[in-house]
A and B are shown apart, each in its own frame.
Chain A
C-alpha cells in the first residue's frame, strides 16, 4: 500500500519569496515520486520526478525537489516565486498507478 501526505492544504506567499511545499510518503516498494501542478480549470502538468540517483532533482520553471529516505519526504522548493506559480500542487507516489496527495494550494500575492 502506498500513501502520500501533503500536510499543508494552503500556502500563501509574496512574489519573490522562497517556498517549500511538503510531501511525505509511505511505500513498501521501489520509490518513484513526482510533483504536478494544476492551474485553475486545467489538467495536471508534470513538474519533476525522482526514481534513483541524485536526491535533488530539478524541474521546470525553477522548481526542485529533494528526496529523503530517512524522513520519507519529497519536498518541493522554489527560490523565488512568481504570481503565475499560483496553483494547486500535487505530490504523487507510483509505479503502475499513481497515488496522489490531497494537494497544496499555493497563492502568490504580487
Chain B
C-alpha cells in the first residue's frame, strides 16, 4: 500500500516533556511537509523538506525541529512541550511537477496536560 503513514495516532504528555512524531511515505515523493492543525481546524505549514533538504521553515518556536534521514521519512521533534502545542500534526508529501498532488497522513493528535 502506498500512502503517508504517521505514528503515533495519539500522544498525551505533560508540559516540559520531549516528544517525537514519525512520518513515512511510500509514494516515492521527493517533498514532505509538516502541518499543525489547531482546534478550529486551521492548518499552518511548519516545515517542508525536498530530498532531505529543508526548503520551508515557517516561524515556529525553536523547540520544534524536523528530522529527515532520507526522502521517505520526515520526523518532528518537540523539545519541552507547552500547552499551546496541543493540536493535530499532519504530515504530507507531494508529487513533483507544476501542479503536485498532496497526500496527507491521518495525523498525530497531541494533548499536553
CB-CB under 8 A from B105, the residues of chain A are 43
Q: Which bucket holds chain A's interface residue count?
A: 20 to 34
Q: Is A74 close to B, CB under 8 A?
A: no
Closest A residue to B55 by CB, please name it.
A96
Q: How large is the interface on B (under 10, 10 to 19, 20 to 34, 35 or more residues)?
A: 20 to 34
Q: Is the CB of B99 within 8 A of A42?
A: no
Binding site for B on A (CB under 8 A): 30, 32, 34, 36, 38, 41-46, 49, 51, 88, 90, 92, 94-100, 102-103, 105
B8 to chain A, nearest CB (A): 14
Q: Is B98 an interface residue (CB 8 A)?
A: yes
Q: Are A49 and B101 in contact (CB under 8 A)?
A: yes
Q: Which residues of A contact B101 (CB under 8 A)?
A: 46, 49
Whether the Cβ atoms of B99 and A45 lie closer than 8 Å is: no
| Stretch of B11-19, B39-47, B62-70, B78-86 at the chain-chain interface | B39-47
Q: How far is the CB of B18 from chain A (nearest CB, A)?
A: 24
